[in-house]
């Protein structure tokens, strides 16, 4: 993945809700990442539930992502 693709975001499905507004998101058939809500989603109290399709921006170092949009 190049830098523009990371900023644009990838789509995934929420598979598990964890404490402190963190989620496990499946982005590929064999890849799952830990993700947290973006600040604007917390500010506007947008709820994310298991099974929701979300867009997330992956961290440069991998393993984590920031949920920026819910479909």
- Domain containing 44 equals 3-70
Q: What is the pLDDT of residues 3-41, one digit of tens each?
A: 555 466 899 999 999 999 899 999 999 999 999 999 999
Res 60: pLDDT: 85
Q: For position 62, which CATH number holds?
A: 2.40.50.140
CA dist 45 and 29 (Å) reads 29
Q: What is the pLDDT of residues 48-70, one digit of tens each?
A: 999 999 999 998 887 799 999 99
Stated pTM of the model = 0.84
Res 33: pLDDT: 94
Number of domains in the chain: 1
CA dist 44 and 11 (Å) reads 21
Q: How far is CA 47 from the centre of its chain?
A: 13
């Amino acid at each position: 993945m190049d830098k523009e693709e990371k900023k644009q975001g990838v789509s995934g499905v929420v598979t598990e809700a964890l404490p402190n507004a963190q989620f496990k998101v499946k982005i590929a058939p064999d890849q799952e990442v830990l993700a947290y809500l973006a600040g604007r989603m917390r500010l506007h109290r947008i709820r994310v539930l298991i099974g929701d399709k979300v867009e997330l921006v992956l961290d440069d170092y991998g393993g984590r992502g920031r949920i920026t949009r819910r479909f």
